[in-house]
Chain A
Amino acid sequence: MTEGRSLTGGPTGPPTAAGEAPTPLGDAAGGEIRTLWSDAWYDLRHKPLFWISSLLVVVLITMAAMPTLFTDINPEHAVLANSLEPPGGSAWFGYDLQGRDVYARTIYGARTSILVGVLAMLVTTTVGLTVGIMAGYLGGWPDGVMSRIGDMFLGLPYVLGGIVILSSVAGVRSNPSEAAIMAAVILVLAVLAWPVTARVARSSVLSVRAADYVVAARALGAGPRRLILRHILPNTVAPVIVIATLNVGAFIGAEATLSFLGIGLRSPVISWGVAIADHQDYVRNALHPMLFPALFLCVTVLAFVMLGEAIREALDPKLR
C-alpha cells in the first residue's frame, strides 16, 4: 500500500488530494454555500500558528487536569539537604529553597494558573458580553448607567484595586482556604477587566445596529432573532472571542503579579506566581526555582495570545 502510493504520488504528478481540496477563496463549482464559520475553520486548519498554539494549550490543559501523567514526584516532598540544588540527573529542573522538586512543582503549578486564567476569562466574558450587548441594544439611560459603572472600574489601577479588594475579602494575616483565595483572585481579575469586554461588545453592537446591512435585513423582513444571531452577534462576538483568549494570557500573568506582590495566592498553594514570589529574595543564590515557572508562564501566556491572534484572523474575512 505505502509503496504503491509513493510511486503514483512521485515527481511525475501532483498529489491527488490537492485537486480535491476546496480552495479558501475559490469559486467552487459544487456543494453548499459556505458560511463565515466553515471558512474560518478552513482557514484555521491551514495555519501553523493555530496548530502550534492549540497544541501548547492542549498540553497545558492536560498538565493542569492530570499532572500525574507528567511526573510521579510528590511536589510537597521536601528534603532540606537538597535546598537550591541546581538542575541535574536526579531533578531536571533542580530543587527549590525547601528542597522540593522544581519540575514537579512547575507541573502542578499549571493547574492553579490555568484554572484562574480560564475561570476569570469565563466570568469576564459572560459579564462583559451581557452588559455590553444590553447597553448597546437598549441605548438610552440603561446604556448611560452601565457605561458609567464600567468607567468607574476601568479608572481603578488594577494593582491598587487588587490590594483593596483582596485585603478586604481575604485579609493578609488571616489564613483562608486555597479555594477562597482563588475565588477572590478570580473575582478581582473579573471585576477589574469586564468593562473592557463590555466596551468592545457595546461599541460593536452600536456600529452594527446602525449598519446598512441590518437596515437591508430588516427591509427583507428579518426578525430580532435573525438580526441578533446572523448580523449583530457574528460581528460582535468575533472581537469578543479574541479578547477572551487574549484575556486568559493576561489573567495568568496578572495572577502571578498579584502573588508576587504577596496579595494573591500564597503558599501552600502551588502556582507559578507563588513559586516566583517565594524565590524573589534568592535570585542571586539560584535562578532556577524562579526561571522554570517563569518560562512556563511566558509560554502559556504566549500560547493563548497566539491562539487569540489566529482566531481573530480567521474570523475576519478581510485578513484571509
Chain B
Amino acid sequence: MAGEPILQVQDLVKHFPLTLGVLYKRQIGSIQAVDGVSFDLHQGETLGVVGESGCGKSTLAKLIMALERPTSGNVLFKGEDIAKLRGKALKAMRRNIQIILQDPYTSLNPRMTVGDIVGEPYEIHPEVAPRGDRRRRVQELLEVVGLSPDHINRYPHQFSGGQRQRIGIARGLALRPDIIVCDEPVSALDVSIQAQVINLLESLQNEFNLSYVVIAHDLSVVRHIADRVAVMYLGKIVELGTDREIYDSPTHPYTQALLSAVPVPNPEGREARERIILEGDVPSPADPPSGCRFRTRCWKAEAICAEEEPPLKPRQGSDHPSACHFAEVKDVVHSGESG
C-alpha cells in the first residue's frame, strides 16, 4: 500500500474510571479498555481486528468514531486529529467515517420507517442531498444493499436480521464515507446469512473505494475480507500482519491459540491438527497482569514475561510485528496437511 495512510491510530489509550458510591462517587481504579493501540489504514484497505469478548474492540471502534474521548493518543484522518475536533468541525468530519453496529435488532429505531432511518444522514447533513432528491437517494441505497426500494415505508420489525443489517449498511453508506468501521457486523446473524453480508461489504468496498476496519471475535469471519489483521488481547495489539502472515506464520502464542480454533475445510487436516486450548479466563481489564498481559494463560511464560512488557516489533525469523518475548513461527492451520 503506497501513499499517505487515510487513518492513523497512534498510541491510543482509553481508561474508564471505576467508581463506587451512589450519591458521592469515588474513583477506586480504572478499566484499561484500550491501552496503547497503534495502526495505519490505507485507502481501499481492510483491517481486521480480532480478539475475545471484552478485549476493547468496541471501545476502539468508538474512539475511532469520536464517540468516546481518548485518555491519550491520536486518531488522525488524512493527518487531522479527530479526537481534538469539536462542534461543527467534528460534525463535518463525521461524514468521512461511519459505523455499522453489531446488533441489527437494537441499531435501528423501532419507531422510524426505513425511509426515515436511511434518510436521516441527509437530514443531519442537508448539504449532501437537496430535499427533493432524498427519497430517490434512499431508494437507490436500498437497492445497492440488496433490498427492495419499495420497502421504504416499512418498519424495522418487519425485516429479518440479515435485512436489518443491510438497512444499517445503507445508512452507513448514505454520506459516501471514506472509512466504515464494522463492529462485529455479522456475529448476531445466522451462519448462512453471514457470508451474504460479508460478500455485500466486499462488493461495496470495490464499488465505493471504501476502507474498512472490521471487528470480529473470531478469525474465520475476518479471513475472507481483511487485507491485514490486528490481534487484540486485553486492550493491546499483540500481533499485526497481512492476512497471509497471520494465518500462515503466526508468531504470538495467543494468535496461534485463536487460529487453532478456526475450523478448516480439509477433514484430514482437522484430524492431524493440534488444538491449543487456553486455560483460565481473560483477566479483568481493571487489574491486568504485570509485564505481558497474556502470560497468565501462556504455556511459554517464564520469569521475564512477568517483569518486562514485550513491545510490538518484528521478531527473529518473521517480518511482521509481534508482542512476545518468545515469538516463534508456528503454522497451526496447515500443520496437519503437509507435515
Chain B residues closer than 8 Å to A34, beta-carbon distance: 113, 115, 153
Q: How far is the CA of A176 from the CA of B90 in the complex (A)?
A: 61
A33 at the interface (CB under 8 A from B): yes
- Are B109 and A27 in contact, CB atoms less than 8 angstroms apart? no
- Are B109 and A231 in contact, CB atoms less than 8 angstroms apart? yes
- Are A212 and B103 in contact, CB atoms less than 8 angstroms apart? yes
- Are B115 and A33 in contact, CB atoms less than 8 angstroms apart? yes
Q: Is the interface of A mostly helix, strand, loop or mixed?
A: helix
Task: Report the interface size for chain B: residues with CB under 8 A from the other chain.
Answer: 47
B119 CB, min distance to chain A CBs, angstroms: 6
Chain B residues closer than 8 Å to A217, beta-carbon distance: 109, 120, 124
A55 at the interface (CB under 8 A from B): no
Nearest residue (CB) in A for B150 is: A27
- Are B111 and A218 in contact, CB atoms less than 8 angstroms apart? no
Chain B positions 101 through 116: 1 when the CB is less than 8 Å from some CB of chain A, otherwise 0: 1110011111111011
A59 at the interface (CB under 8 A from B): no
A207 CB, min distance to chain B CBs, angstroms: 10
B65 at the interface (CB under 8 A from A): yes
Q: Quick one: which of A152-183 are within 8 Å of B by CB?
A: none
A144 CB, min distance to chain B CBs, angstroms: 5
Chain A residues closer than 8 Å to B157, beta-carbon distance: 317-318
Which interface class (under 10, 10 to 19, 20 to 34, 35 or more) fits A?
Answer: 35 or more
- Are A212 and B150 in contact, CB atoms less than 8 angstroms apart? no
B138 at the interface (CB under 8 A from A): yes
Chain B residues closer than 8 Å to A33, beta-carbon distance: 113, 115-116, 119, 134-135, 138, 152-153
Nearest residue (CB) in A for B118 is: A33
Q: Quick one: which of A214-265 are within 8 Å of B by CB?
A: 215-223, 226, 230-231, 234-235, 238
A17 at the interface (CB under 8 A from B): no
B94 at the interface (CB under 8 A from A): yes
Are A36 and B113 also in contact (CB < 8 A) when A216-B99, A219-B94, A221-B94 are?
yes
Chain A residues closer than 8 Å to B112, beta-carbon distance: 35-36, 230
B106 in complex: contacting residue of A144, A212, A221, A234, CB < 8 Å: A212
Chain B residues closer than 8 Å to A223, beta-carbon distance: 91
Chain A residues closer than 8 Å to B152, beta-carbon distance: 27, 33
- Are A220 and B98 in contact, CB atoms less than 8 angstroms apart? yes
- Are A218 and B108 in contact, CB atoms less than 8 angstroms apart? no
19 CB < 8 A contacts A-B: A25-B154, A25-B158, A27-B152, A28-B153, A33-B115, A33-B116, A33-B119, A33-B135, A141-B22, A141-B23, A213-B106, A215-B67, A216-B107, A218-B67, A220-B94, A220-B98, A220-B121, A221-B90, A238-B111
Give 3 closest A-B pairs by Cβ, nearest first.
A33-B115, A27-B150, A212-B107
Taking Cβ atoms with an 8 Å cutoff, the residues of B that contact A are 22-25, 65, 67, 90-92, 94-95, 98-99, 101-103, 106-113, 115-116, 119-121, 123-125, 134-135, 138, 148, 150-155, 157-158, 168, 171, 175
Since A33-B153, A221-B91 are in contact, a sample of 10 more A-B pairs with Cβ atoms closer than 8 Å, ordered by chain A residue number, is A32-B135, A33-B116, A36-B116, A39-B113, A211-B106, A211-B109, A212-B103, A220-B120, A221-B95, A315-B111
